[in-house]
Structure 1
Amino acid sequence: MKSINKFLTMLAALLLTASSLFSAATVFAAGTTTTSVTVHKLLATDGDMDKIANELETGNYAGNKVGVLPANAKEIAGVMFVWTNTNNEIIDENGQTLGVNIDPQTFKLSGAMPATAMKKLTEAEGAKFNTANLPAAKYKIYEIHSLSTYVGEDGATLTGSKAVPIEIELPLNDVVDAHVYPKNTEAKPKIDKDFKGKANPDTPRVDKDTPVNHQVGDVVEYEIVTKIPALANYATANWSDRMTEGLAFNKGTVKVTVDDVALEAGDYALTEVATGFDLKLTDAGLAKVNDQNAEKTVKITYSATLNDKAIVEVPESNDVTFNYGNNPDHGNTPKPNKPNENGDLTLTKTWVDATGAPIPAGAEATFDLVNAQTGKVVQTVTLTTDKNTVTVNGLDKNTEYKFVERSIKGYSADYQEITTAGEIAVKNWKDENPKPLDPTEPKVVTYGKKFVKVNDKDNRLAGAEFVIANADNAGQYLARKADKVSQEEKQLVVTTKDALDRAVAAYNALTAQQQTQQEKEKVDKAQAAYNAAVIAANNAFEWVADKDNENVVKLVSDAQGRFEITGLLAGTYYLEETKQPAGYALLTSRQKFEVTATSYSATGQGIEYTAGSGKDDATKVVNKKITIPQTGGIGTIIFAVAGAAIMGIAVYAYVKNNKDEDQLA
Structure 2
Amino acid sequence: MKKIKVFALLATLFVGIFSNLFTPVVSAVEPSGDATVTIHKLKNKTGPIVNTGNELSGYTASDFLDGITYNVYDVTAAYHTEYSKQFELTTWLRMWFTSSMVAHTEYSKQFELTTAQEADDKARDYVQGTAGHAPTVSGATLVRTETTAGGGAATFNLPKKSGGKDAVYVFVEQPKTGIRAAAENLVLRFPVYQLNGDGTYTDIELSAIHLYPKNTTETITPVKEITTPNHSYNVGEKIGFKLSTKIPANIGIKEVDGVTPHYNTFGLIDTYHDTTLTFNPAGYELKVAGTSIVLTDKEETPDYTIEVGEGQDTFKVELTQAGINKLAEQGGKTLEFTYTMKLNKFALIDGPNVNQVTVEYGRKITDSNGVVTFYDVVTQDGNTTEVYTGGYRFIKTDFSTNKPLAGAEFVVRNADAPDAKYLKIEKIDAVTKEISWVDTYEEAFKFKTEDDGIVDITGLKYGTYYLEETIAPDDYVKLSERIAFTVEFNSYLSRITNEVTPLSLPDESDSDTPTEFKEHNVPNTPIGFLPQTGGAGIILFVALGAAMVGLAGVYFTSRRKDA
TM-score range, shorter chain: 0.5 to 0.7
Aligned 8 A contact 2:132 2:182 in 1 = no
Q: Give the CA deviation at 1:227.
A: 2.6
Aligned 8 A contact 2:349 2:492 in 1 = yes
> Are residues 270 and 36 of structure 1, via their aligned partners in 2, closer, same or farther at CA, if it must alter by over 3 Å?
farther
Report the counterpart of residue 279 of structure 2 in structure 1.
249
Report the counterpart of residue 212 of structure 1 in structure 2.
231
Q: Give the CA deviation at 1:28.
A: 8.4
Task: Verify: 1:446 aligned to 2:389, yes or no.
Answer: yes
> Are residues 311 and 190 of structure 1, via their aligned partners in 2, closer, same or farther at CA, if it must alter by over 3 Å?
closer
Q: Give the CA deviation at 1:168.
A: 4.5
Q: Which residue of 300, 305, 309 maps to 2:346? A: 309
Report the counterpart of residue 317 of structure 2 in structure 1.
279
> Are residues 197 and 624 of structure 1, via their aligned partners in 2, closer, same or farther at CA, if it must alter by over 3 Å?
closer
The Cα offsets for residues 135-184 of structure 1, whole Å up to 9 and x where unpaired, read as: 457653221245x9xxxxxxxx43234323x3455677976555544332
Q: Please give the secondary structure, in 1, of the residue aligned with 2:7.
A: helix
Q: Which residue of 214, 218, 221 maps to 2:240? A: 221
> Are residues 605 and 475 of structure 1, via their aligned partners in 2, closer, same or farther at CA, if it must alter by over 3 Å?
farther
Task: Verify: 1:22 aligned to 2:7, yes or no.
Answer: yes
Q: Which residue of 65, 73, 78 maps to 2:54? A: 65
> Are residues 468 and 76 of structure 1, via their aligned partners in 2, closer, same or farther at CA, if it must alter by over 3 Å?
closer
> Are residues 185 and 559 of structure 1, via their aligned partners in 2, closer, same or farther at CA, if it must alter by over 3 Å?
same
Q: Please give the secondary structure, in 1, of the residue aligned with 2:6.
A: helix
Where do residues 41-80 of structure 1 align in structure 2 (5 Å cutoff)? 41-43=40-42, 45-46=44-45, 48=46, 51-52=47-48, 55-56=49-50, 64-65=53-54, 74-80=63-69
Task: Verify: 1:120 aligned to 2:171, yes or no.
Answer: no
Provide the rounded CA distance (Å) in 2 between the counterparts of 1:578 and 1:267: 55
Q: Which residue of 435, 447, 461 maps to 1:569? A: 461
Task: Verify: 1:185 aligned to 2:129, yes or no.
Answer: no
> Are residues 241 and 21 of structure 1, via their aligned partners in 2, closer, same or farther at CA, if it must alter by over 3 Å?
same
Aligned length: 409
The Cα offsets for residues 461-515 of structure 1, whole Å up to 9 and x where unpaired, read as: 1101111112222133434367x636xx8xxxxxxxxxxxxxxxxxxxxxxxxxx
Report the counterpart of residue 434 of structure 2 in structure 1.
540
> Are residues 125 and 594 of structure 1, via their aligned partners in 2, closer, same or farther at CA, if it must alter by over 3 Å?
closer
Report the counterpart of residue 455 of structure 1 in structure 2.
398
Report the counterpart of residue 608 of structure 1 in structure 2.
500
Q: Please give the secondary structure, in 1, of the residue aligned with 2:383.
A: coil
Quick one: which amino acid aligns to residue 382 of structure 2?
P
The Cα offsets for residues 408-437 of structure 1, whole Å up to 9 and x where unpaired, read as: xxxxxxxxxxxxxxxxxxxxxx96766x43
Q: Please give the secondary structure, in 1, of the residue aligned with 2:271.
A: strand
Report the counterpart of residue 129 of structure 1 in structure 2.
156
Quick one: which amino acid aligns to residue 407 of structure 2?
G
TM-score of the aligned structures, taking structure 1 as reference length: 0.52
Task: Verify: 1:560 aligned to 2:422, yes or no.
Answer: no
Task: Verify: 1:475 aligned to 2:390, yes or no.
Answer: no
Report the counterpart of residue 514 of structure 2 in structure 1.
none
Aligned 8 A contact 2:222 2:357 in 1 = no
> Are residues 618 and 107 of structure 1, via their aligned partners in 2, closer, same or farther at CA, if it must alter by over 3 Å?
farther
Q: Give the CA deviation at 1:591.
A: 2.1
Aligned 8 A contact 2:411 2:445 in 1 = yes
Where do residues 563-602 of structure 1 align in structure 2 (5 Å cutoff)? 563-602=455-494
Q: Give the CA deviation at 1:539.
A: 1.5
Report the counterpart of residue 464 of structure 1 in structure 2.
408
Aligned-residue sequence identity (percent) comes to 24
Q: Please give the secondary structure, in 2, of the residue aligned with 1:127.
A: strand
The Cα offsets for residues 378-405 of structure 1, whole Å up to 9 and x where unpaired, read as: xxxxxxxxxxxxxxxxxxxxxxxxxxxx
Q: Give the CA deviation at 1:571.
A: 1.9
Where do residues 481-520 of structure 1 align in structure 2 (5 Å cutoff)? 485=428
The Cα offsets for residues 507-535 of structure 1, whole Å up to 9 and x where unpaired, read as: xxxxxxxxxxxxxxxxxxxxxxxxxxxxx
Quick one: which amino acid aligns to residue 416 of structure 2?
D
Quick one: which amino acid aligns to residue 158 of structure 1?
I
Q: Which residue of 315, 318, 332 maps to 1:295? A: 332
> Are residues 609 and 158 of structure 1, via their aligned partners in 2, closer, same or farther at CA, if it must alter by over 3 Å?
farther
Q: Give the CA deviation at 1:570.
A: 1.9
> Are residues 20 and 117 of structure 1, via their aligned partners in 2, closer, same or farther at CA, if it must alter by over 3 Å?
closer
> Are residues 118 and 241 of structure 1, via their aligned partners in 2, closer, same or farther at CA, if it must alter by over 3 Å?
same
Q: Give the CA deviation at 1:44.
A: 5.5
Report the counterpart of residue 406 of structure 1 in structure 2.
none
Aligned 8 A contact 1:604 1:617 in 2 = no
Provide the rounded CA distance (Å) in 2 between the counterparts of 1:479 and 1:281: 42
Q: Give the CA deviation at 1:20.
A: 4.5
Aligned 8 A contact 1:39 1:180 in 2 = yes
> Are residues 43 and 281 of structure 1, via their aligned partners in 2, closer, same or farther at CA, if it must alter by over 3 Å?
farther
Task: Verify: 1:263 aligned to 2:252, yes or no.
Answer: no
Aligned 8 A contact 1:312 1:446 in 2 = yes
Provide the rounded CA distance (Å) in 1 between the counterparts of 2:56 and 2:183: 21
Task: Verify: 1:238 aligned to 2:267, yes or no.
Answer: yes
Q: Give the CA deviation at 1:268.
A: 3.6
Q: Please give the secondary structure, in 2, of the residue aligned with 1:597.
A: coil
Q: Please give the secondary structure, in 1, of the residue aligned with 2:350.
A: coil
Quick one: which amino acid aligns to residue 394 of structure 2?
F
RMSD: 4.6
Q: Which residue of 157, 160, 172 maps to 1:142? A: 172
Report the counterpart of residue 508 of structure 1 in structure 2.
none
Provide the rounded CA distance (Å) in 2 between the counterparts of 1:220 and 1:477: 22
Q: Give the CA deviation at 1:543.
A: 1.5
Provide the rounded CA distance (Å) in 1 between the counterparts of 2:434 and 2:421: 14
Provide the rounded CA distance (Å) in 1 between the counterparts of 2:453 and 2:228: 45
Aligned 8 A contact 2:183 2:213 in 1 = yes
> Are residues 598 and 182 of structure 1, via their aligned partners in 2, closer, same or farther at CA, if it must alter by over 3 Å?
closer
Q: Give the CA deviation at 1:541.
A: 1.5
TM-score of the aligned structures, taking structure 2 as reference length: 0.60
Q: Give the CA deviation at 1:313.
A: 0.7
Provide the rounded CA distance (Å) in 2 between the counterparts of 1:558 and 1:44: 69
The Cα offsets for residues 318-337 of structure 1, whole Å up to 9 and x where unpaired, read as: 1222234x55399xxxxxxx
The Cα offsets for residues 555-611 of structure 1, whole Å up to 9 and x where unpaired, read as: 111112222211112222222222111112222322222222122122599971999
Aligned 8 A contact 2:44 2:214 in 1 = no
> Are residues 179 and 475 of structure 1, via their aligned partners in 2, closer, same or farther at CA, if it must alter by over 3 Å?
same
Task: Verify: 1:82 aligned to 2:71, yes or no.
Answer: yes
Provide the rounded CA distance (Å) in 1 between the counterparts of 2:144 and 2:38: 13
> Are residues 570 and 138 of structure 1, via their aligned partners in 2, closer, same or farther at CA, if it must alter by over 3 Å?
same
Q: Give the CA deviation at 1:38.
A: 1.2
Aligned 8 A contact 2:399 2:524 in 1 = yes
Provide the rounded CA distance (Å) in 1 between the counterparts of 2:350 and 2:9: 63
Quick one: which amino acid aligns to residue 162 of structure 1?
A
Provide the rounded CA distance (Å) in 1 between the counterparts of 2:518 and 2:170: 76
